[in-house]
Structure 1
Amino acid sequence: MARRKVTPTDSQRPVKLAQPPPPPSKPTKRAKKTTARAATSKKASCATVKPEVNTDKNPNRWDDWVPQDRLRKFTDENRELAKNLVQEMNAQRKSTASRPSNAASVKKKAAGSDRLGSSARASEELGTSRGTKRGRDGKEVEGTEKEEDYLRRPAIKLHIPDNLKSILVDDWEKVTKDHKLVPLPSKTPVNVFLDDYEDHEKQRRREGSADWDILEEVIAGVREYFNKSLGRILLYRFERPQWQDLHSQINKGAGELSGKQVADVYGVEHLLRLFVSLPDLIAHTNMDSQAVSRLREELFKMVQYANRTIPKYLTEAYENPGDQYIESVR
């Protein structure tokens, strides 16, 4: 009898069960952080955009959300600023690594060189407050500071372009060697330069913003520094009789100089000398490192503006004061 091939019906066929889905994996810290950042970024896009800055080769905890007022446009001027800041930071790291640990070595090194590279005139005037003064009884005099505290203060290095350096050298030679003077009152005094710079910068800033207010504060500070420091640290010996005569006229409040400031009389030739001395002057303030860094950016812009526009502010020719003036100086 022939066998009949039996085909199983659908109900008789073995049922193949589907594999259960794999259990959800536990999210890593990185995934949580990325999700949180995405959510924060989505919320921020509804209000103010804050780009995230990732520090290369550094832990993620160093990443930061940066507001728009801390960003700068990609311009040649800002590229130059960034380049100078990197150079200064590298130089500061090298000097910190090679600095002796004991206080005696620090004092010896600081006494042998000018830490800020500023003019000798500013160092002579301000250097007296660096060391610790003591009275006859051996106690420290109130109002002075230890040199270690002075060296710990935030310092800046203000980059002076070569063009302005050459102007400073020519100015020094004309006054000290050729015995000539800048004609005063200047036709384009310091206040004119500062007003022009303020008008130029305000066109690039939003009125009422923090940048706008900082600009006004920095310009007012530079003007005040110039008025206060000119007769103390910014003049050569040959210029002092000229200064004494003009200063007496300003104090009397009569004549052509009535109601004038020093910044209304002297020109950019002397303002350039202040730029050289500013790092040493700022080192004697109580500003924190963040304020010093922002001040350095503003001063850098001012110096760059001076470098571009300096020809129209310089005096045409130095004047010969005469034999009588020269003899009075000797």
Structure 2
Amino acid sequence: MSGEASTSDAGSSKTAKTSTAKGTLTTLHSTATNQQWKINEKCLCYHGPLIYEAKILKIRVFTPEDTENGEIGPNFLVHYKGWKQTWDEWVTEPRILKLDEAGIAKQKSLSQSALAAQAGANAAAGKMKDASGKASTANASGASASAGGSTRSGIRKEGARGTKRAREDDDGHTARRSEMKLAVPEVLKVLLVDDWEAVTKNHQLVTLPRSPTVRQILSQFEDHVKTTTTSLPSPTLLTHTICSGLQIYFDRSCGMSLLYRFERHQYAEVRKKYITGPQVKIEESSDIEMSSIYGGEHLLRMLVSLPQMVANSQMDGESVSLVKEYVNELLRYLESNKDSIFQREYDTPSESYGNTVRS
């Protein structure tokens, strides 16, 4: 994902027409892009590492008092074509594009780059297997096809019997999903168990804001990939895109699925302090996301949950395989730098905090 997908400018738009609901608009004119947006308009939207067709369901200007799940300023509630309604989300204008020739060209270019990179990686892997005498590319493809009618990357061969649509229509038809199996290092599995025990059994909390934050970790990982020899496909081209996508996934899922019950009050306090509180200035909070407050502990929770998130998306098999390679590399990076990324001792909250949580 390009930098467009992860930045926002709360003051870059002005409203053209408002409806009766507070802060809700029927149309919005952006002074930054000179674009006009309307409810029910079809558009393109960044999600993860790729761009998908979507529809604008609502347009709303969020204030510090009622941000819900959106950032302060103009936001668009979008529904991704072919996705379940549970993936509807509020996004800022930098994440949406017009459904026109320029937008479609950008969507195709990003998709083709990802596919080309993965194809190169598959070809290289096949050559390595041939050289070692373990298996030939043809044998690998044949074995995969006989096992399930699919290629090594998880995409069914064209014309194969039993082929299903690789997406889920809005009418709720079930589609086959590409599996994303991660190789979580044993050290990180232990950290996950310790993290769970500290919060749920010992009633302790991760220190917030963390250092390094999720955003900083992903930035450091990006530098690591670009300056270190790895087997990852097209690191110069794809690393920033995938790291930006992971950051968006984290910001989207943090409050919804990455917290234990004992942490939810802390989450509410953090949002009030840094984002929604009456004392927070819009210019100070416009760039604040959960990825700039939470750290490695919650990032690791997200990464091990990522296969299920991907299963609920419409990401194609090639993209799943591509993201899997980068996430596995990220897991190895977390393992190698665990001492500087993960917190050793958790905080014990005040008695009043515990009383509030249990009340």
Give TM-score, length-normalised by structure 1.
0.55
Aligned partners of 2:204 and 2:349 also within 8 Å: yes
Aligned partners of 1:205 and 1:211 also within 8 Å: no
Partner of 1:158: 182
Shift of the 273–185 alpha-carbon distance from structure 1 to 2, 3 Å rule, reads same
Pair 1:295-2:323 in alignment: yes
Aligned partners of 1:226 and 1:271 also within 8 Å: yes
Q: In structure 1, how many angstroms separate the alpha carbons of the residues matched to 2:190 and 2:229?
A: 32
Shift of the 257–172 alpha-carbon distance from structure 1 to 2, 3 Å rule, reads farther
Pair 1:286-2:320 in alignment: no
Shift of the 144–320 alpha-carbon distance from structure 1 to 2, 3 Å rule, reads farther
Q: In structure 1, how many angstroms separate the alpha carbons of the residues matched to 2:184 and 2:190?
A: 10
Partner of 2:305: 277
Q: In structure 1, how many angstroms separate the alpha carbons of the residues matched to 2:273 and 2:171?
A: 35
Q: In structure 1, how many angstroms separate the alpha carbons of the residues matched to 2:171 and 2:196?
A: 33
SS at match of 1:71: helix
Residue ranges of structure 1 left out of the alignment (5+ in a row): 1-65, 97-131, 133-141
Aligned partners of 1:250 and 1:261 also within 8 Å: no
Deviation at 1:316, TM superposition (A): 3.6
Q: In structure 1, how many angstroms separate the alpha carbons of the residues matched to 2:181 and 2:244?
A: 21
Q: Greater Rg, structure 1 or structure 2?
A: 1
Pair 1:220-2:244 in alignment: yes
SS at match of 2:337: helix
Aligned pairs for 1:40-55 within 5 A:
none
Q: In structure 2, how many angstroms separate the alpha carbons of the residues matched to 1:183 and 1:312?
A: 14
Deviation at 1:240, TM superposition (A): 0.2
Partner of 1:266: 294
Shift of the 244–202 alpha-carbon distance from structure 1 to 2, 3 Å rule, reads same
Aligned partners of 1:198 and 1:216 also within 8 Å: yes
Residue ranges of structure 2 left out of the alignment (5+ in a row): 1-118, 151-167
Shift of the 320–292 alpha-carbon distance from structure 1 to 2, 3 Å rule, reads same
Aligned partners of 2:204 and 2:347 also within 8 Å: yes
Partner of 1:8: none
Give TM-score, length-normalised by structure 2.
0.50
Pair 1:188-2:216 in alignment: no
Q: How many residues align?
A: 204
Partner of 2:124: 71
Partner of 1:22: none
Partner of 2:333: 305
After superposition, what is the alpha-carbon deviation per residue over 1:47-82, rounded to whole angstroms, capped at 9, x for unaligned? xxxxxxxxxxxxxxxxxxx8689536999xxx9xx9
Deviation at 1:204, TM superposition (A): 3.6
After superposition, what is the alpha-carbon deviation per residue over 1:120-160, rounded to whole angstroms, capped at 9, x for unaligned? xxxxxxxxxxxx9xxxxxxxxx94523x42xx121211121
Q: In structure 2, how many angstroms separate the alpha carbons of the residues matched to 1:93 and 1:304?
A: 30
The partner residue of 1:178 within 202, 216, 227 is 202
Query: What is the RMSD of the two structures over their aligned residues, measured on CA atoms?
Result: 3.6
Partner of 1:315: 343
Q: In structure 2, how many angstroms separate the alpha carbons of the residues matched to 1:189 and 1:145?
A: 38
Identity within the alignment, %: 32
Indicate the structure with greater helix content.
1
Aligned partners of 2:213 and 2:294 also within 8 Å: yes
Amino acid at match of 1:249: K
182-191 or 225-234: bigger deviation: 182-191
Aligned partners of 2:225 and 2:235 also within 8 Å: no
Amino acid at match of 1:188: P
After superposition, what is the alpha-carbon deviation per residue over 1:244-267, rounded to whole angstroms, capped at 9, x for unaligned? 011122323449974422111101
Aligned partners of 2:226 and 2:235 also within 8 Å: no
Pair 1:231-2:255 in alignment: yes
Aligned partners of 2:221 and 2:333 also within 8 Å: yes
Aligned partners of 1:175 and 1:181 also within 8 Å: yes
Shift of the 322–199 alpha-carbon distance from structure 1 to 2, 3 Å rule, reads same
Amino acid at match of 2:342: L
Amino acid at match of 1:320: T
Indicate the structure with greater strand content.
2
